[in-house]
Amino acid sequence: MIGDYEGFRSGFACFVGRPNAGKSTLTNAVVGEKIAITSNRPQTTRHAIRGIVHRSDGQLVIVDTPGLHRPRTLLGQRLNDLVRTTWAEVDVIGLCVPANEAVGTGDRFIATELAALRRTPKLAVVTKTDLVSPSRLAEQLTAVAELGAETGIEWADVVPVSATTGDRVGLVTELLLAQLPEGPPLYPDGELTDEPEETLIAELVREAALEGVRDELPHSIAVVVEEMIPREDRPEDRPLLDIHASLYVERDSQKAIVIGHKGSRLRDVGTKARHQIERLLGTPVYLDLHVKVAKDWQRDPKQLGRLGF
């Protein structure tokens, strides 16, 4: 098999960094499709969603991890465990540090953890370069190089990137690919992610629900897709997919926020999510959303399990 793939590299990479360091946006830019949900609120990603980059010289599978943070709840702890498990399994790690924020204790905390993974090559990726001046960027690149020296990491490379403008996204892909082992592709051509559709749909609904409620409930929403069934009696050229999903919050007051005045917010969430889901699936969708209260689910192991964590 290897003979057919002379010089072909394939393997797993992941971007890590503190919450809101631009990991999901960069994942989407590298894969070229929206597969990881993005939000300007930290801690949006909850699942290790994989994006697959197919090239003539290699296949790069990107695992998108939640931001590592000091956990305050059982959910927080489980998310951190997920991050560490992911790190241990990939071929190369990109540590994302935003260009517009000073290197801080959060970055040091993560770099120290990464330093323990001696055999895995590490790339330092300075994100959001479009938000700073060239001189500020130069200072940040130096600071990130020093962070490596300080924690005992020898960076395979330090690279600035802007996922928003696309600047040097291609270079990041090249540098990650270069660190992968030689071997045949891991996924069939044309696949972009190996996540089940339900997971992606639940994430798109959650992203739409988080928009506009700024800091009120970033962690308190979980979404479960209860069922997806093609509508019967539809002509073949006009299919319709019925999707029923539940949004779980922790308190009645949060339920009121998500539903909004006379249901206006929930309708809005449904419309936004439906457009994204239709783009993802390439088929018209009827999306039915219900908001339910699962008291303090982030601290309850039973409920966490039921909601997929």
Q: Is 21 annotated as a binding residue?
A: yes
Tell me the β-bridge partners of 287: 243
Residues for the chain: how many in total? Answer: 309
The string of DSSP codes covering 39-74 is -SSSS---S-EEEEEEETTEEEEEEE-PPP----SH
DSSP state of 133: -
Q: Is 130 annotated as a binding residue?
A: yes
Torsion of CA 111, 222, 266, 195, to 10 degrees: 80
Q: And the tokens for 273?
A: 């999510």
Residue 91 counted as an annotated binding residue:
no
Determine whether the annotation assigns residue 67 to a binding site. yes
The answer to whether 280 and 243 are in contact (CB under 8 A) is no
Question: Does the annotation place 296 within a ligand binding site?
Answer: no
Residue 11 annotated in ligand binding = no
Q: How far apart are CA 275 and CA 280, in angstroms?
A: 9
What gap in Å lies between CA 211 and CA 272, rounded to an integer? Answer: 10
Q: How far apart are CA 133 and CA 42, in angstroms?
A: 24
272 labelled ligand-binding: no
* H or E stretch covering 16: strand 9-16
230 is in an annotated binding site: no
Annotated binding residue 20: yes
Q: What is the pairing mode between strands 285-293 and 241-249?
A: parallel
Is 64 known as a binding-site position? yes
Does 255 belong to an annotated binding site? no
- Enumerate residues 6+ apart whose C-beta is below 8 A from 206: 37, 44, 221, 222, 223, 247
- Partner residues linked to 54 by β-bridges: 59
The answer to whether 221 and 202 are in contact (CB under 8 A) is no
Q: In terms of Cα–Cα distance, which of 171, 176, 168, 174 is closest to 130?
A: 168
Binding residue positions for GTP: 17-24, 64-68, 127-130
Provide the annotated binding site. Answer: 17-24, 64-68, 127-130
